């Protein structure tokens, strides 16, 4: 499946239904994943959440209509799925910087948020080798740093080094997000298999995991592998993600990237490079 072809179909569907209620689960069906996974894929590839994209397109169109057709604010609010004119006016002013009542006096201030379009020749071409495991609930211990999208690239390696100097070589890293679509980073964790004074307990629920090996522990290499996974691998394989943090397991100068999944459609494919014993050792701390 070419994800860019499918995204163009989704964009067209959204464009044709801006005046209707748009169900994310219906959009997710178009690429064969669940709602949560779809939102994650969309936000990563488009660099905007699906909810923000739809809101921006509606408010962009609403501004043009208020100017060109001189429509009533309440009618435009209802047309673009706002419950009342007050909520619409607040959203409109945040987006355009002017109130709906000021449009005809200051049309030059209106913003135009154009429809997304993807180059369909950008076909996924990268091969991803992976392993699927099922793991019971386990416990890690670590320290957390509050951060955000702008600062995490600097905060994460600095905090990792700081915790490492105090407690020794960490086994795991973990990133938490503020929203379900994982657009905005909330915090970064450095974690250990064993407890030590000053560390916070972190329970990792029972789950199935996709595991991808990265022959590096450099942040840029891990980030690149994550991009390949979400843009090339996930849309094609139809795995459904769980709303759990992703883990990075550091060992032997490599990193194992662990992504939690709900279920899978393809059970037979197996990686030949990892042994059952090795995966037991990851979680047992041996």
Quick: pLDDT tens for 16-49.
999 999 999 999 999 888 888 898 888 878 888 9
Q: What is the pLDDT of residue 26?
A: 94
> Is 121 part of any domain?
no
Check whether residue 97 and residue 180 sit in a common domain: no
Positions in the chain whose pLDDT score sits under 50: 124-125, 264-286
pLDDT attached to residue 265: 41
Residue 12 sits in a domain whose CATH number is 1.10.10.60
Q: Are residues 252 and 141 in the same domain?
A: yes
**For residue 229, what pLDDT is reported?**
80
pLDDT number for residue 8? 92
pTM of the complete model = 0.65
- The total domain count for the chain is 2
State whether 186 and 70 are in the same domain. no
* Domain match, 136 and 44 both: no
pLDDT of residue 280: 37
30 located within any domain: yes
Confidence at residue 266, expressed as pLDDT on a 0 to 100 scale: 37
Residues 170 and 277 in one domain: yes
What is the reported pLDDT for 27?
A: 94
135: left (phi over 0), alpha (psi -120 to 50) or beta: beta
What is the structure's pLDDT at 248? 93
Examine the domain organization and report whether 276 and 153 are in the same domain: yes
Cβ neighbours of 118 (radius 10 Å): 17
User: 83 and 137 share a domain?
Assistant: no
CA dihedral (211, 215, 217, 221) positive or negative: negative
pLDDT score, position 254: 92
Range of the domain at 146: 131-284
Asked if residue 7 and residue 139 are part of one domain, the reply reads no
* Count of CB atoms situated within 10 Å of the CB of 87: 11
pLDDT score at 128: 63
Whole-Å CA distances, 153 to 148, 176, 212: 9, 14, 21
Q: Give domain status of residue 226, yes or no.
A: yes
Q: Do 11 and 79 belong together in one domain?
A: yes
Residue 205, pLDDT score: 92
Q: Do 137 and 209 share a structural domain?
A: yes
């Amino acid at each position: 499946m070419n994800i860019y072809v499918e995204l163009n179909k989704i964009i067209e569907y959204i464009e044709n239904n801006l005046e209707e209620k748009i169900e994310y689960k219906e959009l997710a069906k178009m690429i064969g994943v669940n709602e949560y996974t779809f939102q994650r894929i969309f936000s990563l590839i488009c660099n905007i959440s699906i909810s923000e994209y739809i809101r921006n397109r509606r408010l962009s169109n609403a501004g043009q209509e208020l100017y060109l057709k001189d429509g009533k604010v309440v009618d435009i609010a209802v047309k673009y799925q706002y419950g009342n004119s007050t909520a619409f006016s607040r959203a409109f002013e945040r987006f355009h910087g002017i109130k709906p009542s000021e449009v005809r006096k200051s049309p030059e201030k209106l913003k135009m948020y154009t429809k997304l379009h993807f180059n369909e020749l950008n076909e996924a071409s990268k091969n991803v080798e992976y392993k699927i495991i099922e793991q019971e609930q386990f416990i890690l211990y670590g320290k957390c740093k509050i951060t955000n999208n702008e600062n995490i690239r600097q905060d994460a390696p600095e905090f990792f080094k700081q915790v490492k100097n105090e407690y020794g070589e960490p086994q795991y890293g973990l990133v938490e997000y503020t929203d379900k679509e994982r657009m905005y980073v909330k915090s970064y964790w450095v974690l250990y298999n064993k407890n030590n004074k000053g560390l916070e307990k972190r329970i990792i629920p029972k789950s199935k995991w996709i595991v991808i090996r990265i022959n590096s522990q450099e942040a840029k290499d891990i980030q690149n592998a994550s991009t390949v996974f979400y843009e090339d691998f996930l849309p094609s394989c139809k795995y459904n993600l769980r709303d759990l943090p992703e883990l990075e397991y550091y060992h032997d100068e490599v990193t194992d990237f662990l992504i939690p999944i709900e279920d899978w459609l393809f059970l037979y494919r197996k990686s030949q490079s990892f042994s059952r014993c090795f995966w037991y050792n990851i979680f047992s701390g041996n």
